Amino acid sequence: MMKGKVAVITGGLSGIGKGTALVLAKEHLKIIILDRQDDKAPAVLQQIEKLGSTGDYQHCDLTKRAEVDRVFNDIQEKYGRVDYAFNNAGRGILSKPFGQVTADEIDGLIDLDIKAVMYCMINELALMTKQQFGRIVNTTSGTGLVAGKGMALYSACKHAVVGLTKAAALDYAQDGITINAVAPGTIATELILPYKESAPAEFKKWEASNPIGRLGKPAEIGHAVKFLFDDGSEFINGVILPVDSGCVAGTF
Ligand SMILES: NC(=O)c1ccc[n+]([C@@H]2O[C@H](COP(=O)([O-])OP(=O)(O)OC[C@H]3O[C@@H](n4cnc5c(N)ncnc54)[C@H](O)[C@@H]3O)[C@@H](O)[C@H]2O)c1
């Protein structure tokens, strides 16, 4: 039974995180969003409440360990537990040969795509171990499973999420906790839609990258996350689930 359980979603005010929050909202949960786009929060929380869950928004720069620890402290005081966690916030850079990547880009991506996931997981695992129950889903990418030309930095970060997910899954397998990841194909979100105007050639490539012939919808990732959170998914652990209409299944 999902009803009444506490879910944390990082990057839940936009794109895949928001789409997932809205899928989960139908399950009558307590949904806590960690993000930093404060202006977007009221509308998203309203949508969550309309669908039957309670919504809460905590401003948090996920790249700052102290902020993450503080927010999870607050969550512990207010809710006493976290049952489900979707560690999803992340970003990439426009593709270019690896030698042209800047030091700032390296730091920025490692901070958000790797370290922030680790900071959140450490806090989530502390609560979940006490409860002897928890479901963690991280967001990697198709480029976390196979390489993409011009994507070395992003691909390296998303491969790190894969390794983290698999190894941590083994650490907590006897604590009632499962740790899995979703690997989205190209999804129509605020992360990539602006490139339709600013980088049309790159956008065209992304659009064509899903074998189904269209961009994915955020709710289609949400559907997979809900499945991994489900009580019946207890035996699914350390899995990286591509949700990409077959993109990483092979060349097409
Ligand atoms: N969109 C795609 O095609 C695609 C494909 C594969 C993987 N992904 C991955 O999916 C995840 C979500 O991507 P999206 O497309 O929904 O992006 P998005 O930009 O639409 O949403 C990301 C959210 O994360 C938040 N965020 C970013 N940095 C933050 C920080 N430092 N602290 C707190 N919040 C922060 C943003 O405010 C935003 O609300 C990312 O990890 C991304 O790498 C996306």
**Helices vs. strands in the chain: H and E counts, helices first:** 9, 7
Statement: residue 119 has pLDDT above 70: yes
State the closest ligand 1 atom to the C-alpha of 187, by its place in the atom list counted from 1.
3
Residue 70 tokens, joined: 């503080």
190 falls in which pLDDT band (50, 70, 90)? very high
CA nearest 12: which of 125, 29, 128?
Answer: 29
Q: Which is catalytic among the residues 57, 84, 119, 154?
A: 154
169-184 pLDDT tens trace: 999 999 999 999 999 9
Find the mean pLDDT for residues 42-47. Answer: 98
Q: Is 119 a catalytic residue?
A: no
Residue 54 host element (H or E): strand 54-59
Q: Quick one: DSSP state of residue 95?
A: -
CA distance 225 to 139: 10
CA nearest 165: which of 135, 126, 125, 138?
Answer: 138
Distance in Å, CA 17 to ligand 1 centroid: 7
Specify the residue with its C-alpha closest to ligand 1, atom 33. 35
Residue 229, CA distances (Å) to 11, 27, 75 in order: 18, 11, 19
Find the mean pLDDT for residues 175-198. Answer: 95
CA distance 142 to 158: 8
Tell me the Ramachandran region of residue 250: left when phi exceeds 0, alpha when psi lies from -120 to 50, beta otherwise. left
Statement: residue 16 has pLDDT above 90: yes
> b or e along 11-44 (b: 16 or more beta carbons within 10 Å of the residue's beta carbon)?
bbbbbbbbbbbbbbbebebbbbbbbbeeebbeeb
252 falls in which pLDDT band (50, 70, 90)? low
Chain length of the chain: 252
Distance in Å, CA 45 to ligand 1 centroid: 18
59-112 pLDDT tens trace: 999 999 999 999 999 999 999 999 999 999 999 998 999 999 999 999 999 999
Lowest-confidence segment of 68-72, 193-197, 223-227, 245-249 by average pLDDT: 193-197
Distance in Å, CA 25 to ligand 1 centroid: 19
Q: How many CB atoms lie within 10 A of CB 99?
A: 6
Q: Model-level pTM?
A: 0.98
Distance in Å, CA 154 to ligand 1 centroid: 13
CA distance 46 to 54: 9
Q: Which residues contact 202 (CB under 8 A, 6 or more apart)?
A: 94, 95, 195
Contact 14 CB / ligand 1 (< 6 Å):
yes
Dihedral (CA of 229, 234, 239, 245) sign: negative
- Mutating to test ligand 1, I would choose from 13, 20, 23, 35 the residue with most ligand atoms within 8 A of its C-beta, which is 35
